[in-house]
Structure 1
């Protein structure tokens, strides 16, 4: 990777941190939960990653539904700790929450990030035997770049063409529905993100040529192969247009989804339900995501 690409990544990371005040992310209390933090697991490339598991304290024998969380950070920054408060809020609503890590660009390209998430989900599947869970109720939540990864990983499950382009195996885990917050769905538009970072995301080699037609999430191999999804954005969300456009295409194609736009309050910034889970509006979004998952409890797994 060139010095120019590295410089752009570092500048973007600083801008994101300042714009989202990432040094002051709200964590919330852990009352009523057991926490299993920094559990090491090995991805399929032999790289050690970490996961957190947030377990609600319930009556013995209670089978918990499961939510897997994928953090954001523009694919170049962030870690699972950004989502700690958000995961706690979800777990307190009666879900076993597993929060994953993945390697970051520029150390890898998106192909390895997809594989990290897929391998992480499979590691979660093996870990779940240690808990009382309902294996028929497994869901996915993700914010910003995590929502991009979640969308493609979900589509990989059904799309052999996408698997071949990415070059890795899909997860074996079955996901019933997704909650996608302030999604970074578009990575190659002629905006600041696409202009300056898309080459860092995809590289410039045979893999990037194979992947080129799928970088638009509106491609049929992606849009028709994802489970029902809840989408949330707001006017102060710097990627508001991405969610509105993606939801519009889901509607045009008849793909099951629900769009929540939270209006123009300036405090409702990008990914605020995750970064500011203490807000009343964040609690509303979390409750709606849980409601969406409950609506799909009896759906066939994706």
Structure 2
């Protein structure tokens, strides 16, 4: 695709996705009484994109276990506002929820979005004490493109050889588990990269940074325990099922669930829909998985 065609595809994706997300979230309470909401904290130099919201439960005493989110959207769509209701629900469950923006493609190309993820994870480490966050019980969530970046970041955390490719430094946060929802695994298979996605994984990136895209090559048995979800109408359903088998072969602790059936179909990243009964079940299971891995 030409540069103009990629930009057109990105704009079409943003329009369609936003229309669906706005309809999904219509009428939901953005300020539930159980949660203290702190908006637009700066984690980096960009005044538009390097912002995060922090949701703190009011019913927790002592240090608060923390979930750091990496939002999805095909690397070229999505904001923290798109994920606010998912995050507020997890905060109601007793977790602090870190809900950041990052700069989207085509203004950002691989690995620029992951670089910003790394920056906001360091922000959490630096400011955890100020917000009473428990550095010893940290969890990572990501969906779709965000799930792919979460997979990469976990691999960076757990394999020094992969970390060297990115040049990141570790923090003093102790990550205990992750939830990867409708994640875009196996992105190194270049057949997955087409259309709007080429705005992030440009031809130059694919030619020069292929080893960085081959995440699965670097995953070891030390990968974090994971709660994996997909759905019967998830267009990348098979990527999660394949990753399930991949982790099983490595001996990595994980749970893999596919939700929905012919009578109650569920789409890609259905967990974000806080009006959906099966999404509520999946979110509750996700939190239970995290609680089981707290120390």
SS, match of residue 36 in structure 2: strand
Q: Does 1:218 align with 2:216?
A: yes
State the match for 1:238 in structure 2.
235
State the match for 1:56 in structure 2.
57
Q: Report 1:186-225 matches (<5 A).
A: 186-189=186-189, 191=191, 193-197=192-196, 199-205=198-204, 208-209=206-207, 211-219=209-217, 221-225=218-222
Given the alignment, which residue of 281, 286, 290 partners 1:284? 281
Describe the shift of the 1:250–1:86 C-alpha distance in structure 2 as closer, same or farther (beyond 3 A): same
- Contact preservation (8 Å) 1:110, 1:202: yes
- Contact preservation (8 Å) 1:67, 1:138: yes
Q: Report 1:130-209 matches (<5 A).
A: 130-166=130-166, 168-172=167-171, 173-189=173-189, 191=191, 193-197=192-196, 199-205=198-204, 208-209=206-207
Q: Quick one: distance in 2 between partners of 1:129 and 1:23?
A: 35
Q: Does 1:258 align with 2:259?
A: no
- TM-score in terms of structure 1 length: 0.86
SS, match of residue 162 in structure 2: helix
Q: Quick one: distance in 2 between partners of 1:248 and 1:216?
A: 17
Q: Quick one: distance in 1 between partners of 2:165 and 2:201?
A: 11
Shift of 1:117: 0.3
State the match for 2:77 in structure 1.
77
State the match for 2:93 in structure 1.
93
- Contact preservation (8 Å) 2:13, 2:77: no
Q: Quick one: distance in 2 between partners of 1:76 and 1:152?
A: 18
Shift of 1:174: 2.7
- Contact preservation (8 Å) 2:143, 2:269: yes
Describe the shift of the 1:211–1:158 C-alpha distance in structure 2 as closer, same or farther (beyond 3 A): farther
SS, match of residue 62 in structure 1: coil
Q: Quick one: distance in 2 between partners of 1:225 and 1:129?
A: 28
State the match for 1:6 in structure 2.
7
Long gaps (5+) in structure 2: none
Q: Quick one: distance in 2 between partners of 1:201 and 1:266?
A: 34
RMSD: 2.3
Shift of 1:247: 1.2
Q: Quick one: distance in 2 between partners of 1:184 and 1:95?
A: 25
- TM-score in terms of structure 2 length: 0.88
Q: Quick one: distance in 1 between partners of 2:190 and 2:123?
A: 37
Q: How many residues align?
A: 287
Long gaps (5+) in structure 1: none
Shift of 1:98: 1.0
